[in-house]
């Protein structure tokens, strides 16, 4: 379910914030962080609200006085939070609000390890959204693709409502 998280997180941020200076590569990377739980076979702190809050706090503390670096790095916890929305982690109160309901996460399943046909359908939806975004953000133009790949930015002209 890589495309589901990476593509939809980047598109949601682009459509909500409409900022050409967001590093959309970092939004996508942040949205993929919780997938590391698949290696453990169970949900860990990465699928809790605590993880992106800690990352957000760290970004804010580490980037004091460095506004441009902060703006860039804020994309990581934003992407991480969007992952929690897109995989419906919030539906499992014990997992989402950890450690409010206890410290153990041993029995929690990884939300993305669910029904295989549903995962396949979500990936197809992500491909359709990616095709739409390709056209919407002018990525058919070489200079726009290069900007996105090298800097993580979208052309300002395509972000207007």
As a whole number of angstroms, the distance between CA 34 and CA 52 comes to: 10
Q: Within the chain, how many helices (H) and strands (E) appear?
A: 8, 0
pLDDT value, residue 140:
96
Determine the longest span between alpha carbons in the chain, in angstroms.
51
Angle at 31 (CA atoms; ends 27, 36), nearest 5 degrees: 135
Q: What is the mean pLDDT of residues 46-51?
A: 95
* Interval 95-148: pLDDT, tens: 899 999 888 887 778 888 777 888 999 999 999 999 999 999 999 999 999 999
pTM value surpassing 0.85: yes
């Amino acid at each position: 379910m890589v495309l589901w998280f990476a593509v939809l997180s980047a598109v949601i941020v682009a459509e909500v914030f409409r900022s050409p200076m967001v590093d959309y590569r970092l939004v996508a990377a942040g949205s993929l962080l919780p997938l590391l739980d698949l290696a453990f076979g169970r949900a860990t702190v990465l699928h809790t609200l605590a993880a992106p809050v800690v990352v957000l706090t760290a970004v804010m503390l580490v980037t004091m006085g460095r506004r441009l670096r902060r703006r860039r790095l804020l994309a990581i916890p934003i992407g991480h939070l969007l992952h929690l929305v897109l995989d419906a982690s919030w539906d499992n109160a014990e997992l989402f609000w950890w450690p409010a309901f206890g410290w153990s996460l041993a029995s929690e399943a990884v939300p993305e390890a669910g029904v295989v046909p549903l995962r396949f359908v979500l990936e197809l939806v992500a491909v359709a959204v990616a095709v739409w975004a390709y056209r919407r953000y002018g990525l058919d133009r070489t200079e726009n693709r290069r900007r996105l790949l090298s800097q993580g930015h979208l052309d300002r002209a395509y972000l207007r409502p």
